[in-house]
Structure 1
Amino acid sequence: MVELSKWLKAPLPTEKFPPKKAQGCRAGSQSSVVAGYSFFKDGHTLRSDWSSPEFWISSIRKEDSGYYWCEALTASHSVSKQRHQSYIQVQTENQRIPVSGVFLETQPQGDQAVEGKMLVLVCSVAEGTGDTTFSWHRGDTRESLGQKIQRSQRAELEIPVIRESHAGGYYCTADNGYGLIQSEVVNVSVRIPVSHPVLTISTSGAQAFTGDVVELLCEDKRASPPILYRFYHENVTLGSTSVPFGGGASFNLSLTTGHSGNYACEADNGLGAHATGRTSPMSPSCHYAKLRLVRPFHGFSSPSGNRS
């Protein structure tokens, strides 16, 4: 008969263990004639005729809670058994869950970011407990934009003033100690508000005469389309033109004697409020030009029929 000093070395019944950690029990003997070991839980065999006195549960779960014991088999196949049992309880109150479902969103949405405004990158996880390290990166250069450690499933990174150079892909990562998980790449396009449209008046000659057709051209080269251009004469609307793909817009005007005076144009692509020229002559969305109309000189006929 084998004399065992301690059949099962296992955690005390009062101890609790978090899930996902490897746990084991060890059978010890003062004799060298033990041929094999068997391990049991709640009446079920975990391992029989095991050569090692140790048996490990590589990833312990809540359902692994229960009573454990083991047996030793001597070389003569006589079993020495100790009916001492140890209870192992897997702790679930503060259960650590690995992060999963990492997701990046932007506020506003990626296709609605406006130059000069704030862009917020929100990184969230569907699951995950404990302290989580959130990181944000550029998709093209993998440049790190920032990092936060929070005991939550959501974290935000603010870009206070977004520029045209901020356009591109972004992603975030989350890690609470079980491995880093990356989100999908989110593309951000930066829309440019109208700023300083330029109005030019094209005439056929050095001076404009009644009956001439002049072209009013209004253009804001940086503004994102679609752009609506409006044309004014002395704060009276002449007409408007929409440009769906960017660039400038023109308005043709056949001159009459009442067309002398100040002209203005306004550009509006819906990104913020813009005053019109009829209410604010200094509006940055308007540009003014002055047209001086010259009446044609018909002269008179001399008795000889020559014009002087």
Structure 2
Amino acid sequence: MCAELFSPPEIKVIPSRVIEGDEMTVRCDYRLDPLRGGTELHFAFYRDGRTVQGYNVSDTYRVRSSQLEDSGNYTCEVRTASDTVRKMSDEIYIQIYELFSPPEIKVTLSGVIEGDEMTVRCDTRLDPLRGGTELHFAFYRDGRTVQGYNVSDTYRVRSSQLEDSGKYTCEVRTASDTVRKMSDGLYIKIHEFFPPEIKVTLSMVKEGDEMTVKCDTRLDPLRGGTNLRFAFYRDGRTVREYNVSDTYRVWSAQLEDSGNYTCDVRKRSGSVKKKSNGFYIQIHELWDDQGAPGPEPYRTLETTNNYSLQPQHVNPSLQAFVTQTIKDEEQYCEEDERWAPYLV
């Protein structure tokens, strides 16, 4: 009767539940006939039919830091050194469990506007059995590091600016760096808060006009209640300091009020500040050197005798004088060319 040299091998794994990063030991267990205790045996290991460790005298296959791709159907084969006897184990499926889920980028605000505090979080779920595992997090924008590895899962921008827009990713790793995972990218757009524009109420401003200059802003509808402050400049010099009014008013414009006007707008907190483009405002002379009226447009000023005075702006004293003269010396006015432009 022929006795078995060694029993059919059996796969055994330590630990019984393997998590990413664990050292995993797979053993090819067998029983050698006591009477043949000195027999040299060789062992080989396979995962899903592919060799992971070729024949050698070790009955153990060791993975120092197991990864998800180490999951699979394991078998081992035992043979004598002379290869006269060989036996294969049954399959055993070894599952490598996630230490933590693939991270996901999350941002606190659905729409981030200039000046907002933006919080970007690297969200992951740690295996409940490994709740005490220390993880480190890093953040990237367009592939460049914006926050290096540390224990915080959050990247915070106190006052976001347009240049903070970009494709954000985060990476998580264990403190020992045995497991690391990268998130998918998430594009975060920082929306412009208020692009200001200089506007003037009159298309043509003449000496003596009341001139109103407005710093027009298109405030984002989501931030309609934001407190803004406005300042105005002419040729780079301040003509009105910051206050809540978006309007700069000159009650009686003079030639020296001509210039390149700009305005600044800022949030009350000062976290966002914007400057308009320049807008040149020309103050036109009311009368030229020959005493003729300045450029159009005109505005009709009715007199008591149904005559009309032009142009748009007339000095009150002059108007009274002319009106009286017309009343008293109508014929004189008709003959004198100086008054011809003012008669209808």
| Bigger relative CO (Cα 8 Å, ≥ 6 apart) | 1
Look at both structures and tell me which one has the larger radius of gyration over its CA atoms: 2
Higher helix fraction (1 or 2): 2
Q: TM-score normalized by structure 2?
A: 0.45
Q: TM-score normalized by structure 1?
A: 0.50
Higher strand fraction (1 or 2): 1
